[in-house]
Structures are given as structure tokens and as C-alpha cells.
């Protein structure tokens, strides 16, 4: 059981906008910035968002937001290369440990 | 360019020990926390532990699932972080990634990842 809850799967068509969510509590998402990590075909994870900031090289089709204890990653103008597993992560104050969500498998139809 | 290269993964028997290393380059190593993250076959990412830098007393933290068995250390002179794994269990089988932690307090995140090293625990 992951400390952060993500949808198991989300799908969208090319050009569509999709939003992935990550729900935690006041000890983690409610307190700290959330990072989002893309993993294509079980390869090396890649950072695509932290808070609402884009790492260099990540297209601005990706955006992040947070409301209370839920963080979101929105991908607009969905592209075939966006098909991947996406994980959210942050720190947990009460566990005094890093935590991940279970991951969302994004399928581009 | 930032490079993180893990090494040391191999097949080991249950109850055995292994030491993983992560060699870093392309950034000022001693300014950063360094974390270990693992991924068991067919599973999601799992945080393993953290090595804080000198400004934070070189303190370390480990996940409850490995506490008492795994130890994290670093050598700033070698730009390296290590994961000493003892009393290995079959469920420790995973790809182990090291990750550079960036950001300010409350806004830390994994900025870079290594390619991972595979640890297989099996008799």
C-alpha cells in the first residue's frame, strides 16, 4: 500500500489533455512539493515536474499543480511519446521518509 | 552534464550482503543530498534511503522496510554514495537507482537518476 494514491491507468488520444492525480495527506503533499517522474518501458526514471516547475528539456505541454493534499500533472496536446508510467513522490513528515505513489500507466490511443 | 553510475549489483543468496556504489560527476557533489530508490520486478518505485550532505551533518535515513539491514554512506572525496545491504531477503530483489536530490527545504525533488544496478537475491 503506497503512501500516495495514483490512478492505476489513464488513457487519452493524441492531442488530448489528460490529468494525473496524486493524493496524500497533511504530512506529505500538504506539506511539501511533489515531484513527478516518467518511466518509459521500465527504463530509467526521468524527472518531468517538481511543484509547478519544469526541468530543462521537458516540453511545456507538461504542467503541475497542487490543491491541499492532492497534486496533479497535466499533459496537454498528448503525444505518442508520452506513453509511460508516471510516479509522484515527496517527503513524509510523520514517516520521516520519502514516499512514492503506486504509479499511473498512461496509454496514448 | 550530470552522470550517476551505479555498480555492485549481482546475484546473492538470502542472508548475504552486498555493497552498491554510485559514482557522480558533472555537479558539486558535496552540495547535494543523494537518495537510493529501488524497483522490484513488475512493481513501482520505492524509496530506500537518503544521505544528507555535510551542511546537514552527513545524516542518513532509511525506509522502514530496510532499516537495521541497509546502511547509506558517502565519500565526498570520491563523489560517491554507497548502499551497504546486509541480511538480504528475496524481496530485496530489484533494480537500485541512485538519484541526485535538488531544491530547498520543503521543495526537494529527484533531479537526476542513474541507470540502475540489478540486485537479485535467490538461492
Mean pLDDT of A65-78: 96
The answer to whether A51 contacts B107, with C-beta atoms less than 8 Å apart, is yes
Task: Convert the pLDDT of each residue in A28-60 to its tens digit.
Answer: 999 999 999 999 999 999 999 998 889 999 999
Q: Is B97 on the interface with A (CB under 8 A)?
A: yes
Give me the pLDDT at residue A96, please: 94
* pLDDT exceeds cutoff 90 at A24: yes
Average pLDDT over residues B38-62: 97
Of B32, B77, B69, B70, give the one whose Cα is nearest residue B51.
Answer: B32
CB contact under 8 Å between B108 and A33, yes or no, is: yes
The yes-or-no verdict on residue A2 having pLDDT over 90 is no
Please report residues of A whose CB lies closer than 8 A to that of B37: 45, 98, 100
B115 near A CB under 8 A: yes
Percent of chain B with pLDDT over 90: 96
Phi-psi group of B69: left, alpha or beta (phi > 0 → left; psi -120 to 50 → alpha; rest → beta): alpha
Q: In whole angstroms, what is the distance from residue A102 CA to residue A83 CA?
A: 17
Reduce the secondary structure of A59-78 to three states and give it as a string.
Answer: CCCEEEEEECCEEEEEECCC
Reduced to 3 DSSP states, what percent helix, strand and coil does chain A have, rounded to the nearest 5? 5, 50, 45
Amino acid at each position: 500500500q503506497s503512501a500516495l494514491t495514483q490512478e492505476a491507468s489513464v488513457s487519452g488520444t493524441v492531442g488530448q489533455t489528460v490529468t494525473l492525480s496524486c493524493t496524500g495527506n497533511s504530512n506529505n503533499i500538504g506539506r511539501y512539493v511533489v515531484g513527478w517522474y516518467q518511466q518509459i518501458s521500465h527504463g530509467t526514471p526521468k524527472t518531468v515536474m517538481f511543484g509547478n516547475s519544469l526541468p530543462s528539456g521537458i516540453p511545456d505541454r507538461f504542467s503541475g499543480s497542487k490543491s491541499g493534499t492532492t497534486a496533479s500533472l497535466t499533459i496537454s496536446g498528448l503525444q505518442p511519446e508520452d506513453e509511460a508510467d508516471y510516479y509522484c513522490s515527496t517527503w513524509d513528515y510523520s514517516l520521516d521518509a520519502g514516499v512514492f505513489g503506486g504509479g499511473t500507466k498512461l496509454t496514448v490511443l | 552534464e550530470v552522470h550517476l553510475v551505479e555498480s555492485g549489483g549481482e546475484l546473492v543468496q538470502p542472508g548475504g550482503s552486498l555493497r552498491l556504489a554510485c559514482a557522480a560527476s558533472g555537479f558539486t557533489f558535496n552540495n547535494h543530498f543523494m537518495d537510493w530508490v529501488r524497483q522490484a520486478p513488475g512493481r513501482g518505485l520505492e524509496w530506500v534511503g537518503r544521505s544528507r550532505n555535510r551542511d546537514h551533518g552527513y545524516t542518513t535515513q532509511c525506509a522502514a522496510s530496510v532499516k537495521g539491514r541497509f546502511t547509506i554512506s558517502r565519500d565526498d572525496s570520491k563523489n560517491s554514495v554507497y548502499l551497504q545491504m546486509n541480511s538480504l531477503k528475496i524481496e530485496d530483489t530489484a533494480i537500485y537507482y541512485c538519484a541526485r536530490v535538488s531544491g530547498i527545504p520543503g521543495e526537494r525533488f529527484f533531479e537526476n537518476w542513474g541507470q540502475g544496478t540489478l540486485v537479485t537475491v535467490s538461492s
